[in-house]
Structure formats: structure tokens, C-alpha cells
Amino acid sequence: MMSDKPNILVVDDEPTMRDFLKSSLADRYHVRTATGGTEALALLQEGKSDLVLSDVQMPGGGGLELLRAIRERLDYHPCVILMTAFATVEQAVKATRNGAEDYICKPFGLDQLDHVLERAFTFRQLHRENSNLRANLVDRADKNGLLGNNPAMDLLREKIDMIADSRGTVLLQGESGTGKEVVARAIHESGSRKDGPFIRINCAAIPETLLEAELFGYERGAFTGAVQSRKGKFELADGGTLLLDEISEMPFAMQAKLLRVLQEREFMRLGARYATRSDVRIIATTNRNLREEIKSRNFREDLFFRLNVIPLTIVPLRGRMDDVPLLARHFCQNFCAENHKPLMELTEGAMRCLMGMGWPGNVRQLQNVIERAVILSTSGCLDEKVLGLSDEMDSTDTSGGISTDMTLKDMERELILRKLANTRGNRTRAAHELGISVRTLRNKLNLYTDMGMEIPG
């Protein structure tokens, strides 16, 4: 039966000290001994030790030389505790800088030695657990590019795992800059379609007259300039995923044609005589509330129901502020590498400023801030000055902030949320101070909740 006793290597040129330590520790540890650094290194290479207890001053190389050899020549790193009868502050500093775990002065009692050994093993165990925890967090946070350890991100990753192999249409809702395309790619790459194409089309960026041809393709001669047949996005995405970005911007007439394709699972190229079938998983994104767009007659209700089979809402960055440090460091690392600069650290002051932002532009805004700072920095760190957050908004505003880049609806939303925060969630008082009815306030808050926002109070 294998023993779980830790292994200790005692290194001392004095036989009486070696024998004393071996006999004193034998009941709790497996103890080996060495007369000097050379012999100790050979023993460490033959078999691993959890801890090395070494004298500092020995003929032919002392404890500090052994410590350096351990770091340079071993493929593992045991704890090292140094013993000396000539303790100085300089020696202690030098030992710890070279990687010693602790330092004990001769003569010492067994109680003192036990305390030092116990502390060393406890520290090493905590270090292992912390390393494992960090590795698990990084693995969990970085799955398919979805960075974040906030519970909202955990829930999002769980939902992605659940729906990854489904053919059901996904509707991703969230503010601009929250990373809807990243989530769409994560869905694609997590499922059985990951080896198929991932095709994206921005419905807002293509003129209405060209959108149908872009989606469905066309035959040669279908219109002036169609000198050869061309596949559309639906055909190109066969066997994979088609991302309809900013679906709320699709012209109303085009929505009817898209609805038919989703219902029939087939489409007609422009100028074609026969329909074409394509095995495509549809993911649509929007930064608007489609129920409001339906009321305004800007979006078809039947298309909304067809798209809203699997709805996912992405939380804005201000709703998961605990992820800001992780995201900031990730972007910093990426942009340092991209711009061929040494890895920079964010100062504590810079991090406080980042945590004080309202981030109306969400993750994309944070990414842009870090990229600009990395490019402009002339030092080895990113501080408050180089971040230039005063240009973004008032960095002392932790409730969201209002900027000139926001729409009237955005400003209204930020004002309502700020007022609710100031009244500590008292909706009656907030409605009174805003000059609106409690019912109106409640309806707006329900709308914000549907958009994935965190409501104060």
C-alpha cells in the first residue's frame, strides 16, 4: 500500500544535524539525506522530493547554489527551506528572491521546525488549488471566445451547450457591442455544424434592391449585369450556419420572403425556374426590441414568432462589471501582441477607472479603449492618463452615463435607470420625480428586463 507521507530531502554537511533531523521527522515524512549540494541534486534527479531542507553554508556549494541549480536543472520545483546559523537580512532577501519558500535560523526547536514545515506544505497545497482553480476558470471563461466568469455568462454557456445541436432558429437580443456575433459563432462551433460554413450577412449594410440577390443568389441573365450565375448566402451556408445580423433593419417586403424560406426550407434564386433546398441553421441578431418594432409596424409578427424559437438575451457589460478586469487584461494581451509591444500591465488606478465606467458601448467600447491605450502607451503599463476615459464619458459615473453617441431612447433608458438607482428601487418615487406614471415606468422596466438589463433595487 502506497504511503501518502510527503518526501523531504535534508541537506547538511554536519552528520549530527542530518541524523537529528532524520530521526525527528521520520514518523511524519519520508526522509532522505545528502552531505552537500552536488549529492542533493543527484538525489533530486533520481526521485522527486516535496521539500528540501538545506543548510546555507556547506563546503563545495551551499544552499543558495543548490537553490539556483534546482530552478535551472530540475523539471519540477520542490519547496526549499534554508537553514543557517549566520542569519542576515541580506541573506533572507537573497534566498526569497531566488525562490526559497522560507528561512529558519539555527539553533531551532522541533516545534519551530514543525511550524515552518507545516506552513510550507500548506502554502504549496493552496498554490496548487489556486492554480487548478485559475485553470478551470480560464477554460470555462474562454470557451469559444466567450470571456467572463459572471453567472450570466455561465448561464449563457449552459444554454449554448443545450441548443448547439438543435436546428431551431436562434434569436440573439442585446445592446450594440455586447458580442452577439461572438455568441453566434460559439453556437456554431459548439454543435455538429462546426465543420460547416459560418456565413454572416449584415441586413442593415446592404441596400434593399441588392439584399434579395445577396440572400438567395441569381441566375445568369436575371437582371442587367448578371453575366453569370451566383450563389446566395443561403446556398453558401448549406450544412452550416447563416447569421442574419441586425434582422430588425431588414426591409418589410423582404421579411415576407424570408418568412417563406424559413417555413418551406427552400428558396428561389432570382431568375430561377425551380426552388433550391438548403440545410441551414439560422441565427438572427437584433439590438432593438422586436415587440416594439411590431407595434410600430416595422417588423412582421409572424416572422418574429418564426425567429424566436430559441431566444437568448446577452447581458450588457454594466450588468456584469466583475468581468471587466478579465476582459481588459485579455484585450491588453491581444493588442500588445498585435502591435509587437511587450506585455503591459494595467495599473490599479486604471482598473478603478475602468470599473467606474457605465460602458454604453459595452464590450466593443472597452475593447476600443484598451486598443487605443496600447497603441498610445510609451511606457510598460496602462495608467489612467493613457486610457483617456475622460474622452469617453465622466469616469465617476457608475450608473451608466449619457454621451452624445446615444439615441434619445438610450438617454431615456439611462435616465430612468439612474433615477431608480438614486431612489434605491422605489418605483413610486422614481416615477414621480421623472414625471411619469408608475404604470409607464413599470412597462419600461419590463422592456429593459426583456433586453437583459439589470434593474436597480
CATH number of the domain residue 249 falls in:
3.40.50.300
3-state secondary structure (DSSP) of residue 147: coil
Q: What pLDDT, on a 0 to 100 scale, did the predictor assign at position 307?
A: 94
CB 12 within 8 A of CB 83: yes
In a domain, 28, yes or no: yes
- Which range in 62-71, 184-193, 225-234 is most confidently predicted, on average pLDDT? 184-193
Q: Does some domain include residue 99?
A: yes
Task: Quick: pLDDT tens for 262-308.
Answer: 988 888 888 888 888 889 999 999 988 899 899 989 999 999 999 99
> Do the beta carbons of residue 99 and residue 67 sit within 8 Å?
yes
Mean pLDDT across the stretch 153-169?
Answer: 90
What mean pLDDT comes out for the span 72-83? 86
Q: Give the separation between CA 391 and CA 402, rounded to whole angstroms.
A: 12
Rounded to 5 degrees, what are φ and ψ at 381?
-145, 165
**Is 61's pLDDT higher than 80?**
no
Q: Phi and psi (nearest 5°) for 195?
A: -85, -5
Judge whether 391 and 434 are in contact, CB under 8 Å.
no
pLDDT band at 353 (very low <50, low <70, confident <90, very high): confident
The answer on 174 and 56 residing in a single domain is no
Write phi, then psi, for 231 (nearest 5 degrees). Answer: -75, 145
Together in a domain, 355 and 443: no
pLDDT of the residue at 282: 95
In total, the chain counts a number of residues equal to 457
Residue 132, pLDDT score: 55
Question: Is residue 456, in this structure, part of any structural domain at all?
Answer: no
Same domain, 169 and 271: yes
Taking 90 as the threshold, does the pLDDT of residue 148 lie above it? no
| Position 98 pLDDT exceeds 70 | no
452 pLDDT band, cuts 50/70/90, is low
More confident residue, 223 or 94: 223
Looking at residue 83, which CATH number applies to its domain?
3.40.50.2300
- Tell me the average pLDDT of the chain: 83
> What is the pLDDT, as a whole number, of residue 224?
80
Check which CATH number belongs to the domain holding 380 and give it.
Answer: 1.10.8.60
pLDDT digits (tens, 9 = 90+) for 370-410: 999 999 888 878 888 888 876 554 433 434 445 544 566 76
Q: How many domains does the chain have?
A: 4
**Do 325 and 289 share a domain, yes or no?**
no
108 and 187: one domain?
Answer: no
Q: Which pLDDT does position 308 carry in this prediction?
A: 93
Is pLDDT above 90 for 136?
no
SS3 state of residue 1: coil
Question: In 89-147, which ranges are E strands?
Answer: 102-105
pLDDT value at 137 more than 70: no
Report the pLDDT value the prediction gives residue 399, as an integer from 0 to 100: 41
Higher pLDDT, 285 or 220: 285
Same domain, 129 and 213: no
Q: Give the pLDDT mean for 357-374.
A: 90
Q: How far apart are CA 248 and CA 284, in angstroms?
A: 9
Residue 270 is classified by DSSP as: B
Of 391, 420, 436, the one marking the end of a domain is 391
Instruction: Report the percent of the chain where pLDDT is more than 90.
Output: 34
Indicate whether 143 belongs to any domain: no
Considering only CA atoms, which of 55, 65, 37 is closest in space to residue 103? 55
**Where is the domain boundary, 267, 283, 313?**
313
pLDDT for 31 equals 94
Answer whether residue 163 shows pLDDT above 70: yes
Kindly indicate the confidence band of residue 159, based on its pLDDT and cuts at 50, 70 and 90.
very high
DSSP 183-211: HHHHHHHHSTTTTS-EEEEETTTS-HHHH
Residue 374 lies in a domain: yes
Residues 344 and 234 in one domain: no
Separation of alpha carbons 335 and 376, rounded Å: 12
For 426-444, what is each residue's pLDDT tens digit? Answer: 888 888 777 788 888 888 8
Q: Are residues 416 and 362 in the same domain?
A: no
Structural domain boundaries, residue 54: 7-136
Beta bridge partners of 217: 231
HSE at residue 364, side-chain half, CA atoms within 13 A, is: 11
User: Residue 7: phi, psi to the nearest 5?
Assistant: -100, 130
Domain membership of residue 127 (yes or no) is yes
Residue 385's region, left for phi above 0, alpha for psi from -120 to 50, else beta, is alpha
Does residue 46 fall inside a structural domain?
A: yes
- Looking at residue 400, its pLDDT comes to 45
Give the per-residue pLDDT at 100: 77
List phi, psi (to 5°) of 105: -95, 135
What's residue 454's pLDDT? 67
Same domain, 324 and 301: no
Percent residues over pLDDT 70 in the chain: 86
Q: What is the predicted pLDDT for the residue at 301?
A: 94
pLDDT at 94: 63
Helices 15-25, 110-141: crossing angle, 10 deg rounding: 70
Identify whether residues 169 and 288 lie together within a single domain.
Answer: yes
Residue 418 pLDDT:
78
Specify whether 69 is located in the same domain as 99. Answer: yes
Q: Report the pLDDT value the prediction gives residue 395, as an integer from 0 to 100.
A: 36
Whether residue 112 contacts residue 83, with contact meaning beta carbons closer than 8 Å, is answered with no
CATH number for 435: 1.10.10
Domain end, chosen from 274, 289, 313, is at: 313
Asked, for residue 398, whether it belongs to a domain, the answer is no
Report yes or no: 433 and 427 within 8 Å, Cβ to Cβ: no
Say whether pLDDT at 244 is over 90.
yes
Cα dist from 116 to 48, 101, 121, whole Å: 20, 10, 9
- Domain check: are 424 and 362 in the same one? no
